[in-house]
């Protein structure tokens, strides 16, 4: 393995891509909101973003960054009621789900002023 990839870091990032029938987009968003709020209020979740593919109506990507490992996330997030309610609510409307776990390379991230302006919520704003 390259030395550049052996940078020690904590936590993981995951991307979940959902393909939803476009007629169920509102139902998906409605189910996502309470799960998003509960997840964002967890101190271990340090970033959460939702993207929609303009070129593919009904396709969403959720990005979550955690300062914990996957075992902790499974025990303390996935097992929680808010997550289970979300999964149950979207179960019948998801056409396809793809899940990817990534390890971020340190010293390669940047967020320029203005990018998140107007869309960022702090824990106090939820």
Domains of the chain: 22-104 (3.30.70.100)
What confidence score (pLDDT) does residue 114 get? Answer: 82
pTM of the complete model: 0.82
More confident residue, 53 or 103: 53
Among 4-8, 20-24, 102-106, the minimum mean pLDDT is found in: 4-8
Between the alpha carbon of residue 14 and those of residues 18, 60, 70, 84, 92, the distances in Å are 13, 14, 10, 18, 23
| pLDDT recorded at residue 27 | 97
pLDDT at 122: 63
Pair of tokens at residue 41:
């209020």
| pLDDT value for 56 | 96
pLDDT at 125 over 70: no
List the single range of 11-20, 54-63, 99-108 with lowest mean pLDDT. 99-108
17 CB-near residues (< 8 Å, 6+ apart): 59, 60, 61, 62, 96, 97, 98, 100
């Amino acid at each position: 393995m390259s030395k550049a990839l052996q940078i020690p870091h904590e936590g993981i990032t995951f991307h979940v891509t959902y393909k939803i029938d476009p007629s169920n987009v509102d139902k998906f968003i409605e189910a996502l909101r309470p799960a998003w709020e509960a997840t964002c209020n967890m101190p271990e979740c340090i970033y959460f973003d939702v993207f929609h593919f303009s070129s593919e109506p009904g396709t969403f990507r959720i990005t979550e960054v955690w300062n914990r490992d996957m075992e902790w996330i499974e025990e303390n997030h996935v097992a929680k009621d808010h997550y289970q309610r979300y999964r149950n609510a979207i179960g019948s409307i998801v056409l396809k789900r793809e899940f990817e776990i990534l390890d971020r390379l340190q010293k390669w991230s940047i967020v320029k002023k203005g990018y998140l302006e107007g869309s960022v919520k702090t824990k106090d704003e939820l």
